[in-house]
Chain A
Amino acid sequence: MLGAIVKRLGQMLFVMVGISVLVFLIFFATPGADPASRIAGRNASPETLAAVRKDFGFDRPLPVQYALMMERLFITQDLTSFVNRGWKVVPAVIDVAPVTLSLVVGGAVLWVIGGVIIGLVAAATRGSVLDRTLMMLGLIGVSMPVYWLGEVMNLITQSRFHDSWFFAWVPPLGYKPLTSDPVGWFLTLVIPWITLATLYMGLYGRVLRANLVEAGQEDYIRTARAKGLSETRILVRHALRTSLITIVTLFGLDFGALVGGAALLTEVVFGLQGIGKLTYDALRSLDLPVIMATVMYASFFVVVANAAVDLVYVVLDPRIRTA
């Protein structure tokens, strides 16, 4: 057991190192991509370029640059931005994390509840008009670009129907901290939550329905039926439990990626200064220290979410427990 945990931790570490090397190479070793020229400006003289190179340490070998950056990011934690000199990246990431966390956690609650309800109702009424309607709506949700849906939401709630009683409560775009203004926090996030959840709700509902229908053909469901259990009980207590394994896998990966910054399109459209927006701005200005910090942060969540998924498997599936 201990061996398995050590192996797993080793894998996680390997993936994180791999990602940091990959990002480093994308921004430093891509032919033609010269960070010094970006920092020095478009028409910098060769002397300025050389000075910038020396100043930022770009004249040193790549492995040394990589090691120094990792040391300053994780050990001394005093890595500063290339663009705004003196701006420490570790506190910058910690500052914006609550925004993304608020957005993603709220959205996740909505999409898991919605997705499970859609999946259960559709599977229970399999073949009916309700089933087909739900699946079609789910597919439309999956087919919508999230940023476009966000814009449509803004158009409706901020402009066209903002004066009607239905959307008059929607505050202007932006983020209000939970601690100082809990009501404002909730109200500003309702529309972003719905937007973010729409895609995943459709996806989870469809996947769950497919799994429930598939589980319906298994021997243990036949046994449950033979025992005389009610259809509802079979669906919820027997079929749902094994079907949840797929949902948990999906959820782990999606949640990890979103907390890590994959929600950036939603953040951009709704003017939320979260991790995704920070990463995107850093990428635009090729601010490598910030990119490095945000990407390491993102990969940390993805890797941890993967490990958590493996743990939940053991709880949900007795077969894995004994193996």
Chain B
Amino acid sequence: MTDQTASAVDLVAEEASSPLPAARGPWVTALRKLRSDRAAMAALLLFVVIVGLCMLAPLYATYVAKTDPFRSNLTGKIMVDGKRVPVMESSTEGLGLGFTPMGPTWDFRAYFLGADGQGRDVAARLLYGGRNSLWIAGVSTVICLGMAALVGLVAGFFGGAIDWVLSRLLDVLWAFPVYLLAISLSIVLISHGIDIGPISINSGSLSLPIFIIGIIYVPYVARPIRGQVLALKESEFVLAAIGLGVPSHRILFRDILPNVMATLIVFVPLMMAINMLTESALSFLSIGVQPPDASWGTIIQDGQEQLYTRPMVALAPGIAIVITVLALNILGDGVRDALDPRSKLRIRSA
């Protein structure tokens, strides 16, 4: 049954996109289209490079910069151009009582991007922070899409009371400004942690921002999925499956899920970009990643105090966010162009 369905889908995609008689599946077609998209491939490469660099953070900190980016270093001195320079210079402004962290040395071996307010190496922190930012964005995307797929499939397929309850719940979440919801959840959870029966998560854990960011965007993905499932439910192959007495769970997973898969995949890079921005905003408000852990958002917040004296502390992580999110968005555009279900529909109707 499902094989017939799949081949019918293939046939449509085949007729629509390729004059060649050779049989290629829609996924292969999409992948080829994506691979020929130079901008998307460059963005993917850039993203992989960024992930790779952040993975190498411990190596950089230990062997190249030789610092511990999580310990304050207010009295340290380092060698720059053969001279010993204090990491924290005496302040030349105001009463001359405070200290100003050193600026960028532009030398990979020490304080490439300067020091932050606690004398820590910004470049090393940037790499460590990137690990957390990327990890949170990635895992929360998986959670978001998984939950959205579940809610959308169940609501759309079973309809009736289940659909009513789920849809109303989505309506409420939808009307709740995302950032306010995220902040509300963060403040309560981060000040207390979670302690429900066997599950105990302490308040500094990365799981909290991951969980919070993972659920707040569920309505944005679940709604389109539900709509698609409603349409698929009326399609001939699903009606035929119902008529043949195929059990519901089998129809859901074998007939409907593969058809909404394209939509889910299109959402992956785009959601990851949005999640990354959300994480950085929460961390900037100091209710995301908690110290001593760092993320790009927390480093921007660290740099706020020295914004006018040592702007690099806040500038560098922001630039890292822009580049990463931009790469994800360009990749997302490419994936959408390659998989867009709408363009397929349009060609079919023509």
Binding site for B on A (CB under 8 A): 11, 14-16, 18-19, 22-23, 26-27, 30-33, 139-140, 142-148, 151-152, 154-155, 158-160, 217, 257, 260-262, 264-265, 268, 279-280, 283-284, 286, 291, 295, 298-299, 302-303, 306
Contact B321 A148 (CB under 8 A): yes
| Nearest CB of A to B301, in Å | 9
| Interchain CA distance A298-B195 in the complex, whole Å | 30
| Nearest CB of A to B240, in Å | 31
Contact A18 B184 (CB under 8 A): no
Q: Indicate whether A158 sits within 8 Å of B308 (C-beta atoms), given known contacts A143-B325, A283-B183, A295-B180.
A: yes
Pick 22 A–B contacts, CB within 8 A, sort by A.
A15-B171, A15-B172, A18-B168, A18-B171, A19-B175, A32-B195, A33-B192, A139-B330, A139-B333, A143-B325, A143-B326, A145-B280, A145-B284, A148-B314, A148-B318, A152-B315, A265-B281, A283-B184, A298-B180, A299-B176, A302-B176, A302-B177
- Set of chain B residues within 8 Å of A152, measured between Cβ atoms: 315, 318
- Set of chain B residues within 8 Å of A31, measured between Cβ atoms: 194-196
Interface size on B, residues (CB 8 A): 46
- Set of chain B residues within 8 Å of A143, measured between Cβ atoms: 273, 277, 321-322, 325-326, 329
Contact B284 A260 (CB under 8 A): no
Contact A15 B300 (CB under 8 A): no
| Interchain CA distance A265-B179 in the complex, whole Å | 9
Q: Indicate whether A33 sits within 8 Å of B326 (C-beta atoms), given known contacts A19-B172, A145-B318, A303-B175.
A: no
- Set of chain B residues within 8 Å of A147, measured between Cβ atoms: 281, 284, 300
| Interchain CA distance A298-B177 in the complex, whole Å | 7
| Interchain CA distance A97-B269 in the complex, whole Å | 36
- Set of chain A residues within 8 Å of B273, measured between Cβ atoms: 143
Interface of A: prevailing SS? helix
Known A-B contacts: A19-B176, A143-B277. Give 6 more (CB < 8 A).
A32-B195, A147-B300, A265-B179, A286-B188, A302-B175, A306-B175
Interface residues as binary, B275-286 with A (CB distance below 8 Å gives 1, 0 otherwise): 001001100110
| Interchain CA distance A145-B275 in the complex, whole Å | 11
| Interchain CA distance A302-B176 in the complex, whole Å | 8
Q: Is B86 an interface residue (CB 8 A)?
A: no
| Nearest CB of B to A205, in Å | 14
Contact A264 B175 (CB under 8 A): no
Sort A-B residue pairs by CB-CB distance and give the 10 closest, nearest first.
A18-B172, A148-B318, A143-B325, A32-B192, A143-B326, A159-B308, A262-B177, A257-B177, A302-B175, A15-B175
Q: Is B187 an interface residue (CB 8 A)?
A: yes
| Nearest CB of B to A303, in Å | 6
| Interchain CA distance A148-B314 in the complex, whole Å | 8
| Interchain CA distance A268-B285 in the complex, whole Å | 9
B321 nearest in chain A by CB position: A145
| Interchain CA distance A147-B178 in the complex, whole Å | 16
Contact A139 B326 (CB under 8 A): yes
Q: Indicate whether A30 sits within 8 Å of B192 (C-beta atoms), given known contacts A11-B171, A151-B318, A284-B187.
A: yes
- Set of chain A residues within 8 Å of B178, measured between Cβ atoms: 257, 262
- Set of chain B residues within 8 Å of A140, measured between Cβ atoms: 322, 326
| Interchain CA distance A257-B285 in the complex, whole Å | 19
- Set of chain B residues within 8 Å of A283, measured between Cβ atoms: 183-184, 187
| Interchain CA distance A261-B182 in the complex, whole Å | 13
For window 141-193 of B, CB contacts with A under 8 Å fall at 168-169, 171-173, 175-180, 183-185, 187-189, 191-193
By CB atoms of chain A within 10 A, which of B176, B180, B321 has the most?
A: B180
- Set of chain A residues within 8 Å of B330, measured between Cβ atoms: 139
| Interchain CA distance A10-B189 in the complex, whole Å | 32
Q: Is B304 an interface residue (CB 8 A)?
A: yes
| Interchain CA distance A33-B179 in the complex, whole Å | 20
Contact B308 A144 (CB under 8 A): no
Q: Is B346 an interface residue (CB 8 A)?
A: yes
Q: Is B307 an interface residue (CB 8 A)?
A: yes
- Set of chain A residues within 8 Å of B281, measured between Cβ atoms: 145-147, 265
- Set of chain B residues within 8 Å of A160, measured between Cβ atoms: 311
| Nearest CB of B to A258, in Å | 8
Of the candidates B183, B297, B304, the one whose C-beta lies within 8 Å of that of A280 is B183
| Nearest CB of A to B124, in Å | 20
- Set of chain B residues within 8 Å of A148, measured between Cβ atoms: 280, 284, 300, 314, 318, 321-322
- Set of chain A residues within 8 Å of B188, measured between Cβ atoms: 26-27, 30, 33, 286
